[in-house]
Amino acid sequence: MPYGERSHGVKGRIEFYYDYFETQDLEVVIGLLRILADDSYMDNNYCPCGSGLKEKKCHGQKLLNLKNLLPQTDYIKIYDKIFNYYYEATKAFPKMVCVRKERMKEIKKLKRRRNVRKA
Ligand SMILES: [Zn+2]
């Protein structure tokens, strides 16, 4: 397990991103992490935090700093964990995230795994 204790891992990670991105909105964290998971940072895209600013004038530098910290594959895992946490907590998909087919499949897989654990 790369992130230590599993039960505390996701929550701790979310706290970290709340602090780091200076937000208390999990959807914003998901929107920003998605850029790292998809490696889709673009200076002139609008920042997913909803500020109305371009990424480079908003969370851009913070995203680029994170991008240098871990490989994209790690951000895919982190994104999926936090995305799933959001889904488990709300039973809904984050509004600002465009849900792609692969993500839907991931969620179905995770739900199946969870059901197996419960049984
Ligand atoms: Zn922003």
Gap from CA of 54 to ligand 1 centroid (Å): 8
Burial of 36 (0-12, 13-18, 19+ CB in 10 A): buried
- Phi and psi (nearest 5°) for 110? -65, -40
Gap from CA of 110 to ligand 1 centroid (Å): 29
SS3 category, 54: strand
Gap from CA of 51 to ligand 1 centroid (Å): 6
Rounded distance, CA 57 to CA 40, Å?
A: 16
Gap from CA of 13 to ligand 1 centroid (Å): 19
Model confidence at 15: pLDDT above 90:
yes
Gap from CA of 4 to ligand 1 centroid (Å): 29
For residue 109, name the pLDDT band (cuts at 50, 70, 90): confident
Model confidence at 99: pLDDT above 50:
no
Average of per-residue pLDDT values in the chain? 84
Rounded distance, CA 55 to CA 71, Å?
A: 20
Model-wide pTM > 0.85: no
Model confidence at 5: pLDDT above 60:
no
What residues contact 45, with CB distance under 8 A and at least 6 apart? 54, 55
Gap from CA of 18 to ligand 1 centroid (Å): 12
Condensed to tens digits (0 to 9), the pLDDT of residues 18-58 reads 999 999 999 999 999 999 999 999 999 999 898 889 999 99
**Location of structure tokens 């889709």:** 40
Condensed to tens digits (0 to 9), the pLDDT of residues 52-86 reads 899 999 999 999 999 999 999 999 999 999 999 99
Rounded distance, CA 96 to CA 30, Å?
A: 9
- Tokens (6 digits) for 86: 């959001």
